[in-house]
A and B are shown apart, each in its own frame.
Chain A
Amino acid sequence: MTNTEPIDYAIRRAEPADYQAVMRVMEGPKAIWGTLQLPYPSAEMWRKRLAEPLDGYYGLLACVAGEVVGELGLLTNPARPRRRHAATLFMCVRDDWQGKGAGTALMQAACDLADRWLNLTRLELEVFTDNEPAVRLYKKFGFAVEGTLSCYAYRAGRYADVYAMARLRKE
């Protein structure tokens, strides 16, 4: 695919019926490498997760011609009143769709939802320090590195560091 024609991503909420497509996003080796997922995911686990999302969870999907190619979640803090202005962001693009703008489309939608509708003023995320395209994407959307968390997660046989990043809404 060339970069000459921008791809039009349709963004919509994730629905329970999307669980198999979401699992396909999350089961690629690159997706596993960049998230906290495990190889050999369980379809039943994904079915449950989409059927019974956490309280305050907003799941978005990026679709091309009806096909799900990426997922983004915003987890707000409905049970923690002193953290109600903040949400944690998760995202993942299917291996064969990385580097083609799906992340940008998802992030644009998430920032709009957070800033203008959910009234969130602080978005947080963690990203492996060596996941350069992801760090670049987050910086493009105004996320700043707040610190480095050492040996934060286990990945491919060893402990890996993450950046704690956050984006404060411009008032």
Chain B
Amino acid sequence: MAATDFKIRRLEPQDYEAVYQIFCGPRAVWGTLQVPYPSAEGWRKRLAEPPEGSYMLAALAGDELVGQLGIETSPRGPRRRHAARLGMAVRDDWQGKGVGSALMQAAIDMAEQWLNVARLELEVYTDNESAVHLYKKFGFVVEATLVAYAFRAGRYVDTYAMARLRSDLVR
């Protein structure tokens, strides 16, 4: 499927079960900071009371929610108001089918054209090649390698800190 085949809309509180299903997948857990055996109640609460300044998007195939992306802006950090952090996850059985591209396209448009975010940041495990490939395709560059950044499947693993600067910010 092409990126245009997915419908993007805001993530709503009632989507919590679908988000919970995404994080029941071992690959989704592997690629993020989630832990196995997620709590549906935990996701219900998190979607019902999102942090201030966060914008959550959902990708739908038909009427099925198959991916989600969060843009976390910095409302309490005035000197970081031009920057936002991205986090995303695609359901295990929908990885490699363009969901991530559809979400990323929408997120960059939302952030840069409407939220006036000029610096988008994310962290990704250095060995998550498909994700790194996706981010590079959308103009993210590796700024740093964070050693032993997170614990994953029994050991500490490194992440890349990646960022995309809006064209007016590129020096």
Contacts and interface: CB of A to CB of B under 8 A. Distances in A.
Interface string A131-151: 000000000000000111111
A82 B82 contact: no
Interface of B: 33, 35, 77-83, 118-119, 121, 142-152, 156, 161, 163, 165, 169, 171
A92 to B, nearest CB: 14
Nearest to B141: A150
B2 to A, nearest CB: 32
Contacts of A159: 82, 169
B40 to A, nearest CB: 18
A51 to B, nearest CB: 17
Contacts of B80: 36, 152-154
Interface of A: 36, 38, 80-86, 121-122, 124, 146-155, 159, 164, 166, 168
A155 B79 contact: yes
Main secondary structure of the interface of B (DSSP, over half): strand
A162 to B, nearest CB: 10
A83 B33 CA distance: 8
A152 B145 contact: no
Query: Which are the 9 A-B pairs with shortest beta-carbon distances?
Result: A147-B144, A146-B144, A164-B144, A154-B79, A82-B151, A147-B143, A153-B79, A82-B150, A36-B79
B152 A82 contact: yes
B150 A83 contact: yes
A80 B83 contact: no
